[in-house]
Amino acid sequence: MKVSETMTVGVKTATPDTPVKELANIMCLNNISGLPVVDEQNKIVGVVSEKDLLKRMFPDMSDLAEGGKPDFEDMEKNYSNTLDLKASDIMTTNVAYVSSDMPIMKAATMMCARNIRRIPVVDKDDGKLVGIISIGDVHKAIYQEALTG
């Protein structure tokens, strides 16, 4: 089974200049946990996940190593500061991706090896975003095939 048979098309995306507040709205309203960040040619330049948003609120590890104690209530207040940033300020830029003609189990192996739950799908000829596939999509496809096969 190929990625093209299970991927989601019509993916919600962001640009590097998209405000984080807008990213949070898109994620919350659409019940998704991350977005590919694309340039003007629809090529992937990064990914923003809920984890990227929340990481901005955590204390610096060097402060904790020096005996500092985290103020968890203050950490929650830092979320407002995060909302004032842009996607480019928090996105992960080292992005793994797959092509639509790749076997879904190879895509699943890449996701497991990188400890990620979703991976963008790009056109192998021009590198443009064409979809996204998640671990859940792979599981559902394999389960359905097992039931009908």
CATH number at residue 93: 3.10.580.10
Task: Say how far apart CA 79 and CA 87 lie, in whole Å.
Answer: 14
Question: What's the structural domain count of the chain?
Answer: 1
For residue 87, give the amino acid letter. Answer: A
Over residues 14-19, the mean pLDDT reads 97
pLDDT on residue 65: 56
Residue (of 79, 72, 116) closest to 96 by Cα position: 116
Over residues 114-127, the mean pLDDT reads 93
Q: Read off the pLDDT of residues 34-91 as tens digits, 9 standing for 90 and up.
A: 999 999 999 999 999 988 888 776 555 555 556 666 666 766 666 667 778 999 999 9
Q: What percent of the chain has pLDDT over 90?
A: 68
CA dihedral 23, 28, 34, 38 (to 10 degrees): -30
For residue 91, give the amino acid letter. Answer: M
pLDDT on residue 66: 61
Q: Which range of residues forms the domain containing residue 98?
A: 3-148
Average pLDDT value for the chain: 88
Residue 117 phi/psi, 5-degree rounding, is -100, -15
pLDDT on residue 84: 84
Half-sphere exposure of 40 (CA within 13 A, CB side): 0
Task: Say how far apart CA 136 and CA 138 lie, in whole Å.
Answer: 5
pLDDT on residue 98: 97
pLDDT on residue 119: 96
